[in-house]
Amino acid sequence: MRLNHQIDLGYCTNIHRGETWEETFRGLKLHTNAVRERVSPNSPYGIGLRLSAEAAAELSGDEKQRGEFRDWLEKTNSYVFTINGFPYGAFHGTRVKEQVYAPDWTTNERVEYTNQLFDLVCEFAPEGQSVSVSTLPGSFKEFIRPETRSDQLFAIGHNLRRTGLHIEELRQKTGRDIHLGLEPEPLGLFETSEETVEFFDRLTAELDDEERGRVLRNIGVNYDTCHLAIEFEEPEDAIGRIRGSGIRISKIHLSSALRLRPDAKSISRLGDFVDEVYLHQVVVQDGGKVTERFRDLPDAFAWAKSSPDSLGDEWRVHFHVPVHTQPEAIFQDTRDHVTGTLKLLGNDPGWCQHFEMETYTWEVMPEAMRSGNVVDQLVAEYDWCLGEFRKCGLAD
């Protein structure tokens, strides 16, 4: 939906199962349209689309299916403004874990997939609509091997600039503002705001001013409020550092993480959040400093068992929880990072226009945290987010 200052708000459809286009379209018709009817029945409704590589290839090669989708968008008064291009393959019902980063930006497969997503979003979005695609932060730290690090980093930069050129061609052809957002994430190639700036400095280090300006116009950051909160960063500091370095904020993911004061009871209860699908990275703070990082909950539990007297002051866990409600009393959340980000934008509108709610963990969430069915939860998240946008003068 369109809010003040040309802001587009949607939810990311990666919350629903769908690897083929048929499955994806079925979810849009069943769930997304039901949400639209409740939150935006009389005005254009913006969709944050997730397309797997399989669905994107199928859709790209079938004009009839693309036409049917365009007709559905028109019939439901809906529009696509952004695509989540982070998960390339299966994202539900199977082990995803670190494979969500594969193929990474060292590969041609990632370039072709991302370029295909840009072609599709430009076809589906209304004329003149700014469009974006979000993607992984280059790679996963564990994928970068010491003996090949320089070659891998070179390939990542080269391939990102290739996609930047594709974006520029589409920009010239369509007259749109088109941009890619790299998403810092715990244990990604870059995860903190400082690492993000260092990455972009490398990406543009050998470019002249004109080339650097083009790259930074077409490639920026998908800022996930959950991820930067997990790193114990504050919005004013993190966003200020990124924007102050000339890096655009392409899109903002409105999402919240788990927080807890670690003790035997809270750590035991945290066991209910272990699943075999997603990584749930843990960052530990002690004495005001980040002291430990773990790739998944079982790793954090093993450390806690071996060091029961030095658990740190606070843990933050990469488990997306609904933004509209606080988890059970033993836990806290990081919604303050969401509200802090919106406050910054309210004081200085215009530096980001794409917003996407992203609580993709519906299927693995403890039952007590779910709000009825998935449509009920999404509607409740819209209600909460719109209330926060209004407080900041970003929505009527």
Tell me the C-alpha distance between 382 and 9, whole Å. Answer: 9
**CATH number for 21:** 3.20.20.150
Tell me the C-alpha distance between 177 and 174, whole Å. Answer: 9
**Does residue 326 carry a pLDDT above 90?**
no
Residue 84: closest CA among 340, 365, 385, 320: 320
Query: Looking only at Cα atoms, what is the longest distance across the chain?
Result: 63
- For the stretch 276-321, pLDDT in tens is 999 999 999 999 999 999 999 999 999 999 999 899 999 999 999 9
Residue 358: closest CA among 395, 389, 318, 308: 318
pLDDT in the model for residue 361: 96
The answer as to whether 68 is a domain residue is: yes
The answer as to whether 188 is a domain residue is: yes
Q: Give 292-321 as a DSSP string.
A: EEESSHHHHHHHHHH-TT---SEEEEEEEE
- For residue 161, give both structure tokens: 């600039």
**Does residue 252 carry a pLDDT above 90?**
yes
Contact 184, 193 (CB under 8 A): yes
Helix (H, G, I), strand (E, B), or coil: what is residue 270?
A: helix
The answer as to whether 268 is a domain residue is: no
pLDDT band with cut points at 50, 70 and 90 for residue 212: very high
Task: Give the burial string for 102-125 (b: 16+ CB within 10 Å, else e).
Answer: bbbbbbeebbbbbbbbbebbbebb
The answer as to whether 32 is a domain residue is: yes
**Does residue 130 carry a pLDDT above 80?**
yes
Does the pTM surpass 0.95? The reply is yes
The answer as to whether 227 is a domain residue is: yes
The answer as to whether 357 is a domain residue is: yes
86 lies in which domain range?
A: 4-256+333-391
- For the stretch 137-176, pLDDT in tens is 999 999 999 999 999 999 999 999 999 999 999 999 999 9
pLDDT in the model for residue 328: 85
The answer as to whether 53 is a domain residue is: yes
Q: Give the strand pairing for 131-135 and 289-294.
A: unpaired
Q: What residue spans of the chain are helical by DSSP H? A: 21-27, 33-39, 53-60, 63-75, 108-124, 149-174, 193-203, 209-218, 225-230, 235-244, 264-270, 297-306, 335-347, 374-391
- In angstroms, how far is the first alpha carbon of the chain from the final one? 12
Percent residues over pLDDT 70 in the chain:
100
The answer as to whether 347 is a domain residue is: yes
Edge-to-edge, what's the strand order for the sheet holding 289-294? Answer: 289-294, 282-286, 314-321, 256-260, 332-333
For residue 10, the cross-strand partners are 356
Contact 310, 322 (CB under 8 A): no
Q: Is 367 left (phi over 0), alpha (psi -120 to 50) or beta?
A: alpha
What total number of domains does the chain contain?
1
Mean pLDDT along residues 372-380: 94
Tell me the C-alpha distance between 367 and 329, whole Å. Answer: 15
**Does residue 249 carry a pLDDT above 90?**
yes
Helix (H, G, I), strand (E, B), or coil: what is residue 223?
A: strand
Tell me the C-alpha distance between 149 and 28, whole Å. Answer: 41
pLDDT band with cut points at 50, 70 and 90 for residue 202: very high
- For the stretch 335-373, pLDDT in tens is 999 999 999 999 999 999 999 999 999 999 998 887 679
Tell me the C-alpha distance between 164 and 372, whole Å. Answer: 42
Tell me the C-alpha distance between 378 and 37, whole Å. Answer: 12
Angle formed at CA 95 by CA 90 and CA 97, multiple of 5 degrees: 95
Task: Give the burial string for 197-229 (b: 16+ CB within 10 Å, else e).
Answer: bebbeebbeeeeeeebebbbbbbbbbbbbbbbb
Tell me the C-alpha distance between 186 and 373, whole Å. Answer: 29
